[in-house]
Amino acid sequence: MNDLGSACAACNLSRRDMLERLGVAAAASLSILQTGCARQTGKAKPMQAQGKLTTHTNDRFYKADGTFDAAAAKEAYYEMMRHYDYPIPPRLRTEDFWVLDFGLGKFTEVGMGGIFWVNNKEHNYFGHEIYLLPGQMIPEHQHVATDMPAKMEGWHVRYGWIYIYGEGEPTPGVEARIPESHKQCAVARTERILKPGEVAGLAKPCEKHWMRASDEGAIVSEYATYHDMAGLRFSHPDVKL
């Protein structure tokens, strides 16, 4: 895995500009095939110490005209960060912290928050934090080669836990855990659970993959090669950034 280096200087970019330049790290891939365990040496605070994690209905994140309410979405992620006693540095209060419902209008089912701490094309490394509310998924996708090699990535769970999905033999019972919006298009059906401190990554370039948070939500660090927006391909035909 690459270390997270110097922070990218994109503070003045709009959310759209940042996504255009850096690409959405729909960061989730599996390859169960390439996994490692990095158990935390310190004890995380038990969930009950922070109270029950607040959950919201989908309409909480849409305005009266049906448009996505990014401010409400960000506040829900801040609530989760406070729940886990996760530090909220000033940069997470800027436009560098972005939120998406992927144009599907089902934010509590398909959505994410994220910040690209660094995305260095010259030296080919990338560091990203992924924020998922309880039950949220990042849509299935893959990264293909452009003028850069296909992006490779791995995920390190910090808080909460996640299901990750990659290509291969379907896990028994997986159908029941695929959100309705993706039952017809999800190819990656080999499932693995990642708990805090555990790490997994793609097994091969261009592998289709996705992730979904448990009912505890999740905060996940992604370590990867350079993220090129042009190489991002979603399986769902209606996904929009």
21-43 tens-digit pLDDT: 444 333 333 444 454 444 443 44
Is the per-residue pLDDT at 222 higher than 50?
yes
Of 183, 172, 105, the closest CA to residue 140 belongs to 183
Alpha-carbon Rg for the chain in angstroms: 17
Confidence of residue 13 (pLDDT cuts 50, 70, 90): very low
pLDDT of residue 146: 97
| Per-residue tokens: 88 | 């909220």
List Cβ neighbours of 135 (8 Å cut-off, separation of 6 or more).
108, 109, 212, 213, 214, 215
The answer to whether 141 and 235 have CB atoms below 8 angstroms apart is yes
Q: What is the rounded average pLDDT of the residues 213-228?
A: 97
Is the per-residue pLDDT at 46 higher than 80?
no
Is the per-residue pLDDT at 94 higher than 80?
yes
Strands (E), 144-208: 153-166, 190-194, 198-201
8-12, 122-126, 233-237: range with lowest mean pLDDT: 8-12
Rounded Cα distance between 178 and 21, Å, is 31
Is the per-residue pLDDT at 241 higher than 50?
yes
pLDDT of residue 129: 98
**Farthest CA pair distance, the chain:** 48
Is the per-residue pLDDT at 67 higher than 50?
yes
Of 240, 233, 20, the closest CA to residue 119 belongs to 20
209 C-beta neighbours (distance < 10 Å), count: 30
Of 105, 103, 98, 109, the closest CA to residue 22 belongs to 98
Is the per-residue pLDDT at 234 higher than 80?
yes
- Give the β-pairing of 190-194 and 153-166: antiparallel
Q: What is the rounded average pLDDT of the residues 87-95?
A: 97
Confidence of residue 51 (pLDDT cuts 50, 70, 90): low
Is the per-residue pLDDT at 49 higher than 60?
no
Q: What is the rounded average pLDDT of the residues 96-119?
A: 98
Of 101, 89, 84, the closest CA to residue 45 belongs to 84
| Domains of the chain, CATH where assigned | 15-41+58-234 (2.60.120.10)
Q: Does the reported pTM lie above 0.85?
A: no
Is the per-residue pLDDT at 148 higher than 70?
yes
Rounded Cα distance between 194 and 209, Å, is 14
